[in-house]
Amino acid sequence: MNPVQTLRVALRAIFRNKIRAFLTTLGIVIGVAAVIAMMAIGAGAKARVAEAFAAMGTNLLIIQPGSTSTSGVQGGFGSMPTLTWDDYVAIRDEVSTVKAAAPSLRSNLPVISDEQNWTTSVTGTSPDYFEIRNWPIALGAAFTQVDIESGTKVIVLGQTVVDKLYGPSADPVGQSVRIGSIPFQVVGVAAKKGQSATGQDYDDAAFIPYSTFASKVQGGLSKYLRGTIMVAATSADTTSKAQSDITALLRDRHHVPTGGDDDFQIRNLSEIAGAQQQGTDTMTTLLASVAAVSLAVGGIGIMNIMLVSVTERTREIGIRMAVGAKPNHILSQFLIEALSLSVAGGLIGVAWGVGVATYLAARFKWPMLIQPDVITVSVGFSALVGIVFGMYPAWKASKLDPIDALRYE
């Protein structure tokens, strides 16, 4: 008896009890669908986290000035300005792994239009800032290097600020706003960027040239840069290299002795992103384990129904044995029946899982990520479940005594 015939006999037996077969496979179906959907959701969430960090700016390093230490009380990073404007220029021009650098001087200030006012985070920076943060300008244009050099009073508004001051879908380019009493001309509106991973609204912000910020907000351009420097490395792979290059450069420029503490801090956002990704991975593993347990439960369902099937078909087994079926024939017949059930369940489960994942991806605007290996593994696993849980009933069938089996009522 070849495998094709065995399969045909098994399928026939299954199709005789369609509803029962369906209910039996339902455990596997749900298990596999859950695995596929969970993995897709996990992958989608992971991609979303990655997207959120990409929105913050890829390959981003943030350099903060160092801390003061007066009478043993350490003031924390940023409490003392140790970064100079020359440091910024050196980082921008001398480090080969740095693609772009921009100062970021920040203060919460009221921005006032003719009708409304709104207190927002005003950042003094250079045009490179928008490139570093991957942040295109939706309306108008960013200020330019010329604006920096001449300290022009121009401003780029975030979308939230535009909404608050002018209402949604207004075009404020060319209008005038005041920060305090100083009038600024709106030259551009930054594209909507949404929320950060921690829920902060990126669009609640306004940007002016750093020279203007230093002179008008910070009361004059000094030697020290009273803010942070944002740096984009040339690629994701060179981010760590850029970090160490900048550390070496700044230690050298600040004459920090060997073994002495840095008087600045560099935050590497890709590390934070990595930690976030790990959290997502753990969640995915957890969900997938729960789904795997339901697959095992599905296997028990198959075993149960196969035992019923063997009992119901005792006489058939007797007939087959009488006309020459060997124990192995009977074993493989019932094993293949269990296997067919579980693999069919697996395939239906894949279809369901893909459907659920597609729906959720569309619903939450996630990228649709279904890895082919997850499908292969879950169908393979359901086949394994069929073999493991089908083995005992099949073995039981093959051990039947043909005489007893033929007499079975």
Partner 1 sequence: MGVAAVGPAVAAAVCLACGSEGGPMGDSLIDISNVTKVYTTGDVQLRALDGVSLQVDHGEFIAVMGSSGSGKSTLMNIVGCLDRPTTGSYHLAGKDVSRLSRAELAETRNVFLGFVFQQFNLLARTSAAENVELPLIYGGIGSKERRKRAVAALEQVGLGNRLEHNPNQLSGGQQQRVAIARAIVNRPKVILADEPTGALDSRTSIEVMAVFQDLWRSGITIVLVTHEPDVAEFASRVVNMRDGHVLTDRTQQPKIAVPGASAENLKASAEPPKGPGAGAAA
Q: Tell me the DSSP string of 307-318.
A: HHHHHHTHHHHH
Minimum distance from CB of 336 to partner 1 (Å)?
A: 14
Interface with partner 1, residue 201, by CB under 8 A: no
Cα separation, 379 vs 199, in Å, equals 39
Beta bridge partners of 264: 65
Say whether residue 20 binds partner 1 (CB under 8 A): no
Q: Shortest approach of partner 1 to residue 16 CB, angstroms?
A: 7
Which residue has tokens 């369609």?
18
Q: Kindly determine how many residues on this chain lie close enough to bind partner 1 according to the rule CB under 8 A.
A: 21
Quick one: tokens of 329?
Answer: 């024939």
CA 146 to chain CA centroid, Å, is 39
- Asked whether 82 and 264 are in contact (CB, 8 A), the reply is yes
Least Cβ distance, residue 2 to partner 1 (angstroms)? 8
Residue placing its CB nearer to partner 1 in the complex, 261 or 312: 312
Name the minimum Å distance from CB 305 to partner 1: 19
User: 179 vs 397, which CB is nearer to partner 1?
Assistant: 397
Residue 330: CB minimum distance to partner 1, A: 9
Closest Cα to residue 159, out of 206, 197, 117, 116?
A: 206
Other C-beta atoms within 10 Å of 168: how many? 8
Task: Give the residue from 388, 408, 370 showing the smallest Cα distance to 33.
Answer: 370
Give yes or no for residue 315 binding partner 1 (CB under 8 A): yes
In the structure encoding, which two tokens stand for residue 101, read together?
A: 């650098």
Q: Is 1 in the site for partner 1 (CB under 8 A)?
A: yes
**CB of 151 or CB of 402, closer to partner 1:** 402
Tell me the C-alpha distance between 200 and 160, whole Å.
12
| 403: contact with partner 1 by CB under 8 A | yes
For residues 192 and 407, which CB has a smaller minimum distance to partner 1 in the complex?
407
318 binds partner 1 (CB under 8 A): yes
In terms of CB distance, is 20 or 326 closer to partner 1? 326
Binding mask 321-360 for partner 1 (x = CB under 8 A): xxxxxxxxx-------------------------------
H or E segment to which residue 355 belongs:
helix 327-363
319 binds partner 1 (CB under 8 A): yes
Contact between residue 382 and residue 353 where contact means Cβ atoms under 8 Å apart:
no
What residues make contact with partner 1 under the rule CB under 8 A? 1-2, 5, 16, 315-316, 318-329, 402-403, 406
